[in-house]
Chain A
Amino acid sequence: MSLLDHPARLRDHVAAFRAAHPRKDVRSQFGESVGALLDRRPDAVAVTADLLHATGLAGLRDRHADRLINVGIAEQNLTGVAAGLAACGKLPVVCGYAAFLTLRAVEQAKVDCAYNEFKVILAGLASGLSYGVGGPTHQTFEDVAIMRAIPNTIVVAPSDPVELDHALQAAAEHPAATPVYLRLGRGPEHVLDRPGAPFAIGRAARLAEGRDVCIVAHGAMVLEALLAADLLRAEGIAAEVLNMHTVKPIDRGAILAAAAQVRAMVVVEEHSTVGGLGSAVLEVLEGGHAFPVVRIGIEDAYPPIGPTPELREALGLSGPRIAGRIRGLLTKAAG
């Protein structure tokens, strides 16, 4: 009997897989990374909206009091002030919650930052379902669609706390006069085994090889994709896993290379199936593809409220559920 069909063995296997990937808190990593950036770049200024504690920045107050600006609970002013700082040569890092940065202050992101051609790092924490118990006011499943539809933006969803640090530093060094939206989580997240290739904005990382199916994912879903690939291996299915941390500009080459080899492509995202990574992949493939493309994400409805791991499981956004979908897909395609 296969692992996927044996609940007790599957549970143990999944627990062992997760245990092999220790967790780190996104907020504490973010605080450390912003601190390192402020240490390194005298032009960097962190701006937040009463979220010094919630984004892990409170510990920086002694070291960088003058470059840690708290605007209060006022996200429109948050992004507007950041744009004004950028206009005068500063590198602002806007530290907020994804829901408020990309929805309440979206016009400031568009006009003040993107249209003005200002380099502003917009770091949105608590994205996706990472604050699952917060409910749909705080769950953020529209942000990628919104931010990538705005011209002159870069959208990056790091796969784990280590990549969060790489992405923040890369965003700071990126030469484009463009806001960079960093889509970040909230609580503890597993750290991936990091293969050799260094992080680069716009370049996907191939984390597993396989010619049966390609799983494309970003954010916390990358680990789930790797778990799915692990489970599928036992089923005789070889899955490629692409960490598509940069949704815009998307790595067309990596998608097209996979498309030339695999029998199916599955996109997994902690985001609406409308307009997110799945849509972006399909845009790359619009010239035609002879295999099924399946988007696994949050259907066009408000997700239930609940703890993040259980919520992911319930919505099909877990390694075992992804593996099950893929096995069914390939069986159907073969039949």
Chain B
Amino acid sequence: MRQQPVPGNGFAPLGLDDLREMARVNRLDVAAMFMAAGNGHFGSCYSCTEIVTALYFAVMRVDAASPDWPDRDRFVLGKGHAAPTLYSALIRRGFIPESWIPDFETRVGARLATHPSRRSQPGVDSSQGALGHGLSNACGMALAGRLDGRDYRVYAVLGDGELHEGSVWEAAAFAPKHRLDNLVAVVDRNGLCVDGRTDEVLPLEPLADRWRSFGWDVVETDGHDLATLVPILDVPRFDGSGRPRVVIARTVKGRGVSFMEDVRSWHADAISPAQYEALRVELREVLR
């Protein structure tokens, strides 16, 4: 693994054991937020826990003391309904206070809600929630970096259901044309959207070939394996290839909580106190 310093509060990239622990903490934070609200997008959050954890704790160059630092790596959560996973990363990196967790969705004016908002949360580079916007925004950010000669990278996490949106493919055609090799898209390929199997609702396969045919550098991986995710996400700055990278991350919706894994209804569902207790018991075990 290519290690590079991650500036900001003396933060150094976490090693594998610490990353796994951080992923566990992230799932517990997310559950605490959803318990406060009484429900939430458990499945959608837990499929991208490792992706977001790898980015914020081993890959991205960000500084909580300076959220608007022009040279920071950018992050866009196209699948905005997984915001709590991002919130946990921002909390544990020091961008936003832990004390906001119990406030999640609980009152008018709460700082944390279903979708990420640039207006409410320091560290959020672009508000998301309407699917199909994130990759375009990320393209614009990557293009600006290119125009300014800055070496930051831009990461966009997209849901696989989100790929049904035609606008995603407008952006997918744009990025290679403009040689945005400072851009990495990650497809959270959990195989489920709200109404069922993503590919039964509308087929995406052959997904890797699709991206390849658009001119992307396609890498497929296990989206829960931090050891492989980190080097795949940590693309060189200014690599000169001209090809943006897409990581098709095979994931499991609801990963880490046995009664949620690959269950359609846990895309977003209410949680009972007994279920919350069972979840916490399971998550005391570090995911292998």
Contact = CB atoms under 8 A, between A and B. Distances in A.
Contact of B137 (A45, A69, A87): A87
Contact of B133 (A66, A67, A88, A111): A111
Interface of A: 45, 66-67, 69, 71-72, 74, 76-77, 79-90, 92, 107-108, 111-112, 115-117
B129 interface: yes
Contacts of A92: 140
Given A72-B174, A77-B171, A115-B119, A84 B130 contact: no
Interface in B120-136: 125-130, 132-133, 135-136
Nearest to A104: B167
Interface residues of B, number: 34
B174 A71 contact: yes
Q: Which of A87, A89, A90 has the most chain B CB atoms inside 10 A of its CB? A: A87
B171 A89 contact: no
Contacts of A74: 167, 170, 173-174
Contact of B145 (A80, A86, A88, A117): A88
B143 A85 contact: yes
26 contacts: A67-B147, A69-B143, A69-B178, A72-B170, A72-B174, A74-B170, A74-B173, A76-B166, A76-B170, A77-B171, A80-B133, A80-B140, A80-B167, A81-B140, A84-B137, A84-B138, A85-B143, A87-B125, A88-B145, A89-B148, A90-B147, A107-B130, A111-B128, A112-B133, A112-B137, A116-B118
B144 A84 contact: yes
Given A111-B127, A116-B126, A80 B70 contact: no
A85 B74 CA distance: 12
Given A85-B144, A87-B141, A117 B118 contact: yes
Given A88-B144, A90-B144, A108-B133, 5 more contacts: A80-B136, A80-B171, A83-B136, A89-B148, A117-B118
B139 interface: yes
Nearest to B172: A77
A116 B133 contact: no
State the majority secondary structure of interface residues on B. helix
B159 to A, nearest CB: 16
B273 to A, nearest CB: 35
B174 A77 contact: yes
A81 B143 contact: yes
Contacts of B145: 88
B118 A84 contact: no
A94 to B, nearest CB: 11
Which residue among B129, B139, B142, B178 has the maximum number of chain A CB atoms within 10 Å of its CB? Answer: B139
Contacts of B130: 107, 111
Nearest to B137: A84
Contacts of A111: 127-130, 133
Given A74-B170, A74-B174, A81-B136, A87 B126 contact: yes
B182 to A, nearest CB: 11
A66 B147 contact: yes
A115 B139 CA distance: 19
A108 to B, nearest CB: 6
Interface in B140-174: 140-145, 147-148, 166-167, 170-171, 173-174
What 6 pairs across the A-B complex have the smallest Cβ distances? A84-B140, A80-B136, A88-B144, A77-B170, A74-B170, A76-B167
Contact of B167 (A45, A66, A77): A77
A228 to B, nearest CB: 43
A323 B125 CA distance: 52
Nearest to B134: A80
A107 B132 CA distance: 10
A69 B143 CA distance: 10
A192 to B, nearest CB: 36
A72 B174 CA distance: 8
